[in-house]
Structures are given as C-alpha cells and as structure tokens.
A and B are shown apart, each in its own frame.
Chain A
C-alpha cells in the first residue's frame, strides 16, 4: 500500500505570517502530485497539479514545489490571511487516474 504523509498535522499561525507544509510520497512510479484546498463544510478544490521534478506552481500567495527524486512537495503560503484557513491535501498519482491522498494539514490563521 502506497503511503502519502503530510506534516504537520495542524498548524496555527497569525495573520500575516508565512507558512509552509510538506507532503512526502513514494519516489518510484511517480506520475503527478496534486494539491487540494478543503474548507470546512465544503468540498475539496484543486489547487495545483505538478508532474516534473523541479516544478513550481503559483496561485496568488500560494505556491508549491516538487522534488520527485526524493519524494516530497512543499506548499507555501505567503502572508497568511484568515480566509486561507482550511485543510490542505496532497495526492500522489502513479498514473491510471487514481489518486492517493494524504491525511492533510489543517491550517488555522488567526486575526
């Protein structure tokens, strides 16, 4: 069974802080790494899909990097805002349109 680990499990930051969290995944049979944002009482929404080693993606204040050789991805949030509070999920794909999700990092941004 493939394992996708996310750390930390939860994070509390103050408004304006920059933060980052990690997703670790198997480095073999890699096809893509996905990041999703999941607000409480809503459905997960796609943030990024990354496929190439060294990929960097950015959307506003959120960015992500990918290292397929060592099997990790970082998600960064610059200048956190209360509306960034959510659970951030990463998901590993070995192809075949199946994703294996990590347990998520729950971020709380306090005003």
Chain B
C-alpha cells in the first residue's frame, strides 16, 4: 500500500470556524491531490499540487485553500467552514505515471 495518511480521520466543527486537514506521504511522489466525495458526484477535485509550493485549483475550489511547503505534506484549509462543506475528503498521490493512490479519507461534519 502506498504510504499515505490523513489527519484527522474524523472531525466535527461549527459553521464559520477554520479547519485544516493534513495529508502526509512517505513515497516522495511529486503530485498530490485533494478530492471531496459527495453522493451522485463521485470524486471531485478541489486542489492539486505538482511540486513544493506549486498548486492549482480543481473543479470545486471555492472556499478552500491549500499549501505544500514540503514534498511529503499537503494541507487543505477551509477558511470558514460551511455546512455545504460537510463531506468525506480524500487525499491522493501520484508519481511519474498517472495512477493515483488514495489515503483513507477524512470525514468532516460542519454543524
């Protein structure tokens, strides 16, 4: 299994609070991704990174920001959480090929 961890695995927060999710990899892969999983939509890309300090927006980036200061860590921040951001968040990594390897997911509930 690819060495990917996500933290926290579960989080409950209140509307308006900031939330940061962490993705950590031990594979030294260049590419890292944040997705959210919603019923009827499969996986939708929020942001991705193609190297340290190199990031770009995905399909559903509004309300989210990311940072990658080290190869192994990719942080996803919800600046001011809203109920519509209740979801399961998956991190993925990819090396020289395009196959993506997924972390275990973080379940976020915004009340």
Contact = CB atoms under 8 A, between A and B. Distances in A.
Given A1-B59, A97-B31, A104-B42, A49 B98 contact: yes
Contacts of A6: 42
Interface string B88-111: 001000100111111111000000
B48 interface: yes
Contacts of A98: 45, 48, 58
Contact of A97 (B35, B43, B90, B94): B94
5 closest cross-chain pairs (CB), A and B: A43-B102, A103-B42, A101-B43, A101-B42, A46-B99
A103 B37 CA distance: 10
Interface of A: 1, 6, 31-32, 34, 43-46, 49, 89, 93, 97-104
A1, A6, A46, A49 — most chain B CB neighbours (10 Å):
A46
11 contacts: A6-B42, A43-B90, A44-B43, A44-B102, A46-B99, A93-B98, A97-B94, A98-B45, A98-B48, A103-B40, A103-B42
Interface in B62-111: 90, 94, 97-105
A71 to B, nearest CB: 18
B71 to A, nearest CB: 15
A47 B17 CA distance: 38
Interface in B14-61: 31, 35, 40-45, 48, 50, 58-59
Contact of A49 (B44, B97, B101): B97
Contact of B98 (A43, A97, A101): A97
Contacts of A104: 42
Given A1-B59, A97-B31, A89 B100 contact: no
B44 A101 contact: yes
B98 A99 contact: yes
Contacts of A102: 42
A97 B50 contact: yes
A32 B99 CA distance: 10
